[in-house]
Amino acid sequence: MPYRRFVVPRTIAYGPGALEHLSSVPAQRAMIVTDPGVRDLGLAEKVEKTLQAGNIATTVFDKVEPDPSKETAWAAFAVAQEFKPDMIVGLGGGSPIDTGKAAWVLYENPDLAEKTFLEFLMEVRRRELRKKAKYVAIATTSGTGSEVTSAAVITDRDVDPPNKAGFGSAQLVPDIAIADPELAASMPPAVTANTGYDALVHAVECYVLTPPSDMVDPLAIWSARTILEWLPKAVANGADMTARDKMHLASLQAGIAFSNGRLGMVHGTAHLIGGTHHIAHGRANAFMLCQVFTFLYQGYRARLAALASHLGVEGKDDQTKVMNLLALFDDLKQKIGIPLAIKDSGLEESEWQAHLGSIAASYAATFSRIPGLNELSPEDRRARGIPASVEEVEAIFMHAWNGTREELA
């Protein structure tokens, strides 16, 4: 078996009060990248004061939107160019942290700002960072895990459907990750639910799709167990600091797991429906999880059954175990207020149907570059977790719309 790498931030500060670590980080000028919601909660000001206590000059870019666009990332880069920070701080959920990562890449490599979005995505992996600034990621939600990952997601809205594109490099792992649950205490219940389910999907999809790993598997399993126990408590009572602390750490560990493992069809389909219909990413993952796992059952039966066992799910055989596992995931949705079906989320059916064909075709096209794919039979493709046709992808999306799924076979 070939060797593997395991990449994490150089420093992880976690637990109540972890923000204080920021004041001891060596730097002169820090640019904070965040969003209006985090700003309005006073968290950007709190981080500024912490930095200033360490005699670090600050500026704030607070224009990040959900599913941040390339235009927003480029605008943050322009502020960095003018301010010339030696530390960039991504503060918030995945959107600000990912925008900060993109701005950091551009700041370190200004010539990339003149390239097309596709060229930017292709070039990131080959570019060096840290010549000008270090990167610090501070999570204010318990879900994305972006504070510890080697990837980021930015949306190109100039195409239809919008291209919610990921890019990654081992160098993109933040130098410092701060997971202070006190910063998550103000998350409203719906955001807590959506981001918490996102973290669950990171853990379970990573476990199922990543080849068995003594480094990754324990993190994914611990994270999933913790979320199943503590997410309903965090949603019910945001002031429960034990629940907040458990969820913040579970999100971080799931982030480390999938950053060193892999994600796949759940996230790929969720990115498309989220980017097209402006559905929160964690909620989109919740809508797709059971439908995609049903599709993957043929090729990943052993890993799905093992996951069920690790999470305390019983059954007389693998099929029953996995059926009960999917029921457990649906039960969690109901406990935290996420609908079982997209159609119950407020999205108009006419809007859903108008984009169904294009998002299904867009997802199916992601497999077109796999060598030898056209030589595989539909059965062999499904055994590898690859849909055999656009129509098959459409069927999976329609099950998510209706809150139904195929029988396991």
CATH of the domain at 155: 3.40.50.1970
Average pLDDT for 136-164: 89
| CA-wise closest residue to 282 among 143, 138, 139 | 143
Residue 3 lies in a domain: no
- Can you give the pLDDT at residue 352? 97
Do 67 and 87 sit in the same domain of this protein?
yes
Average pLDDT for 386-403: 94
Judged against a pLDDT cut of 90, whether residue 166 lies above it is answered with no
- Can you give the pLDDT at residue 356? 96
How many other CB atoms sit within 10 Å of the CB of residue 2?
A: 3
Do 229 and 288 sit in the same domain of this protein?
yes
- Can you give the pLDDT at residue 328? 98
Percent of the chain with pLDDT over 90: 85
Judged against a pLDDT cut of 80, whether residue 409 lies above it is answered with no
Residue 363 lies in a domain: yes
State how far the Cα of 101 lies from the Cα of 172, in Å rounded to an integer.
Answer: 7
Angle between helices 94-108 and 70-83 (to 10 degrees): 60
Q: What is the pTM of this model?
A: 0.92
Do 39 and 137 sit in the same domain of this protein?
yes
| CA-wise closest residue to 26 among 10, 37, 4, 14 | 10
Do 160 and 250 sit in the same domain of this protein?
no
- Can you give the pLDDT at residue 160? 74
Express each pLDDT in 93-126 by its tens digit. Answer: 999 999 999 999 999 999 999 998 889 999 999 9
Name the one residue in this structure whose structure tokens are 């207020």.
337
Of 144, 164, 184, the position where a domain reaches its end is 184
Do 176 and 299 sit in the same domain of this protein?
no
Instruction: Tell me what the pLDDT averaged over the chain comes to.
Output: 94
Of 148, 166, 184, the position where a domain reaches its end is 184
Do 210 and 276 sit in the same domain of this protein?
yes
State how far the Cα of 309 lies from the Cα of 313, in Å rounded to an integer.
Answer: 5
Do 98 and 223 sit in the same domain of this protein?
no
Residue 49 lies in a domain: yes
Token pair of 380 as six digits:
């062999």
Do 174 and 207 sit in the same domain of this protein?
no
Which of 183-187, 226-230, 286-290 shows the lowest mean pLDDT across its residues? 183-187
State how far the Cα of 141 lies from the Cα of 359, in Å rounded to an integer.
Answer: 28
| DSSP string across 366-404 | TTTTSTTGGGS-HHHHHHTT--SSHHHHHHHHHHHHHT-
Residue 2 lies in a domain: no
Express each pLDDT in 235-280 by its tens digit. Answer: 999 999 999 999 999 999 999 999 999 999 999 999 999 989 989 9
- Can you give the pLDDT at residue 380? 86
Domain of 339: which CATH number?
1.20.1090.10
- Can you give the pLDDT at residue 163? 76
Residue 4 lies in a domain: no
Express each pLDDT in 21-31 by its tens digit. Answer: 999 999 999 99
Q: H or E segment at 164?
A: strand 163-168
Dihedrals phi, psi of 177, to nearest 5 degrees: -115, 135
Q: How confident is the model at residue 1 (pLDDT cuts 50, 70, 90)?
A: low
Average pLDDT for 63-85: 96
Express each pLDDT in 199-208 by its tens digit. Answer: 999 999 999 9
Do 273 and 158 sit in the same domain of this protein?
no
Residue 196 lies in a domain: yes
Structural domain that includes position 386: 189-367+377-402
- Can you give the pLDDT at residue 68? 92
Do 217 and 140 sit in the same domain of this protein?
no
Domain count, the chain: 2
Residue 348 lies in a domain: yes
Do 16 and 36 sit in the same domain of this protein?
yes
Residue 255 lies in a domain: yes
Average pLDDT for 342-359: 96
Judged against a pLDDT cut of 90, whether residue 372 lies above it is answered with no
Judged against a pLDDT cut of 80, whether residue 164 lies above it is answered with no
- Can you give the pLDDT at residue 375? 82
Of 149, 184, 219, the position where a domain reaches its end is 184
Do 179 and 216 sit in the same domain of this protein?
no
Express each pLDDT in 7-26 by its tens digit. Answer: 999 999 999 999 999 999 99
